[in-house]
Amino acid sequence: MLSVHTLAKLIDQYCSNSDRHYVYGTAGFRGPAATLDTVLFATGIIACLRSLALNGDVVGVMVTASHNPPVDNGVKVVEPDGSMMPELWEPLATQLANTLAIKGSSNERAQATLSWFEKELKDQLQSANKFYNEGVVPTLVVARDSRESGPKLLSCLVAGAKELFHAKIHDFGLLTTPQLHFLTSETAKGVSNVTELRYYRHFLQAWNHVAQLHGIGDHLPTISSLTIDAANGIGAPKVQELLSQWACRGQVHFINNKWTNPELLNHECGADFVKSNQRFPLGFNDSKGLGCSYDGDADRVVFYYVNESNKFCLLDGDRISALFAHFFSSMLKQAGLQSQLSLGIVQTAYANGNSTEYLQKTLQVPVSCVKTGVKHLHHEAVTKYDIGIYFEANGHGTIIFSPKFYKVVKEQERSIAVETLEAFSQLINQTVGDAISDMLGVLAALSISKWTPQHWGEEFTDLPNRLAKVIVPDRSVFITTDQERRLTKPEGLQAKIDETVKCFQKGRSFVRASGTEDAVRVYAEAANVEEVEQLTKKVKNLVMNSSQN
């Protein structure tokens, strides 16, 4: 499949990073951009092999580091249906990147890589090898966010894919991550001449259908204005393009939309900043309207408003799930389909305890808890419910509609409720969390439900909570069970956390290794702010002490 000479030449040209260790995790590969050229080269190869294993079907590749600082970058591989690359392939990506990055000459690294190939072609890559030998050519759809390092890193990926596999590559240039997922899916469906315009047309048409059903004209009925914080990322020009044709565009104000200044990306703004700091982004000054913040690649969104006491009120992923749970529960009842179609929410351990109680007890909607990571949430939503809603607390999520949903809805007598359910399945980007699509869905649900931001925010009261980070020498020693809610290692640490939690009213805390950096995340909840600060500090100290021993 590959020659040593060609591979060594490419390594010498595109793989300056060596003697490093990389891991393909939930977010793909991610780290300082200066350390990633070898990783991008490896990802080009993995994407081609994945396409070959699927008999040349289109595979997407997105170059982004999402909410990370501007100096970072990353890359992830997308399936033909727009979902994430199968977990079974993640170790292959990790192994290939680390083999290409061994210490040694270009020739030695090429020899090691070919040895790895010879082994894997007889094992997991057999199908890729079969189709390659039959003359199948891999097909890739690629894009990048607005980071300064993007063009150079993408060139490393494209070089390997073209030189080694003669891959057919459609480069969409600058896109949000959800746009790349959506357009990959559309291309795989056989849609001809897929362009970025298809994304805008699809979601605007869906909005227009919902708006027509419910008499939403050129003004959102329950909010006075909408401020969009685009995190100075690629979401800025993309949402501006879509909303330029939106009937309610007169209510919209943009902040942090300087996407052409990469050094401003996520600086004191964006979904992660707002969620982590529990405060408004830089430039927000609308005391009467609704605000929302995207992250750097526009696959997360959180909302917020100023309450009557002039205080910041966050409407995060838990609140988005609750809004959609209420909305779809109501629509299913109006359509008379509540007994035919199952509705459920998928959460992680990071979901606020009071949100779970509200969903289960007030709305009486089933709730599943899974491990952190979109792939786990997505899988549960796809396999367990006809309408599966998942949003991580950080605002990353979507809604999945099953094949049964479409069959049942199609067979129903036409009514506003039935057509609304159908239209919403088009308004939501089901391939992945999408800040733009999710925002439109939230605005539609608020309008139809006649909820103001204040009504939304007062449906339940969050337990005070904190998410803290502890830098550790080796995150791999922190091993969890019970959907990441309990530690099995380091030994004895969980017992100490349990004893600490008992000292606080409504206390809850868990510890898990970060998926993207050598750090441990500490989450804590308690009955009041003072207690949650104390609990967070105590658990952080337990983690630090355990990592030093």
> Is 127 among the annotated ligand-binding positions?
no
Put simply, whether the predicted model's pTM sits higher than 0.85 gets the answer: yes
> Is 515 among the annotated ligand-binding positions?
yes
Q: Which tens digit of pLDDT belongs to each residue from 157-200?
A: 999 999 999 999 999 999 999 999 999 999 999 998 899 999 99
Q: Which of 14-23, 42-51, 149-158, 162-171 is the least confident region?
A: 14-23
> Is 299 among the annotated ligand-binding positions?
yes
State yes or no: pLDDT of 549 exceeds 80: no
Average confidence (pLDDT) over 63-68: 92
Query: Beta-strand (E) ranges in 285-440?
Result: 290-294, 301-306, 312-315, 343-347, 367-369, 387-391, 397-401
pLDDT band, very low/low/confident/very high, at 315 (cuts 50, 70, 90) = very high
- C-alpha 63/C-alpha 31 separation (Å) is 12
Q: According to the model, what pLDDT value does residue 420 have?
A: 98
pLDDT band, very low/low/confident/very high, at 548 (cuts 50, 70, 90) = confident
> Is 66 among the annotated ligand-binding positions?
yes
State yes or no: pLDDT of 372 exceeds 90: no
Average confidence (pLDDT) over 501-509: 95
Q: Which of 11-20, 322-331, 531-540 is the least confident region?
A: 11-20
State yes or no: pLDDT of 2 exceeds 80: no
Domains of the chain, each with CATH number or no CATH: 4-193 (3.40.120.10), 198-315 (3.40.120.10), 318-431 (3.40.120.10), 465-548 (3.30.310.50)
Q: According to the model, what pLDDT value does residue 25 have?
A: 86
Q: According to the model, what pLDDT value does residue 515 have?
A: 73
Six-digit token string for 124: 């997991």
> Is 516 among the annotated ligand-binding positions?
yes
> Is 295 among the annotated ligand-binding positions?
yes
- C-alpha 312/C-alpha 279 separation (Å) is 6
Q: According to the model, what pLDDT value does residue 514 have?
A: 85
Q: According to the model, what pLDDT value does residue 29 have?
A: 95
Q: According to the model, what pLDDT value does residue 289 have?
A: 97
Using CA atoms, how far residue 523 sits from 4, 371, 415, 514, in Å, is 49, 14, 45, 12
Q: Which tens digit of pLDDT belongs to each residue from 110-128?
A: 999 999 998 998 888 999 9
Using CA atoms, how far residue 292 sits from 113, 142, 308, in Å, is 46, 28, 19
State yes or no: pLDDT of 1 exceeds 90: no
pLDDT band, very low/low/confident/very high, at 26 (cuts 50, 70, 90) = confident
- C-alpha 322/C-alpha 461 separation (Å) is 12
Q: Which tens digit of pLDDT belongs to each residue from 73-97?
A: 999 999 999 999 999 999 999 999 9
> Is 465 among the annotated ligand-binding positions?
no
Average confidence (pLDDT) over 244-262: 97
Q: According to the model, what pLDDT value does residue 516 have?
A: 67
Q: Which tens digit of pLDDT belongs to each residue from 143-152?
A: 999 999 999 9
> Is 514 among the annotated ligand-binding positions?
yes
- Would you say 243 and 252 are in contact if contact means Cβ atoms under 8 Å apart? yes
Please give the mean pLDDT across all residues of the chain.
95
Beta bridge partners of 469: 521
Q: Which tens digit of pLDDT belongs to each residue from 222-250?
A: 999 999 999 999 999 999 999 999 999 99
Q: According to the model, what pLDDT value does residue 430 have?
A: 96
> Is 192 among the annotated ligand-binding positions?
no
- Residue 415 falls in the annotated catalytic set: no
Using CA atoms, how far residue 85 sits from 50, 90, 213, 375, in Å, is 9, 8, 37, 9
> Is 357 among the annotated ligand-binding positions?
no
pLDDT band, very low/low/confident/very high, at 67 (cuts 50, 70, 90) = confident
Q: What DSSP designation does 362 have?
A: I
Q: What DSSP designation does 549 have?
A: -
Task: Please identify which of the residues 51, 66, 355, 546 carries the catalytic annotation.
Answer: 66
- Would you say 507 and 526 are in contact if contact means Cβ atoms under 8 Å apart? yes
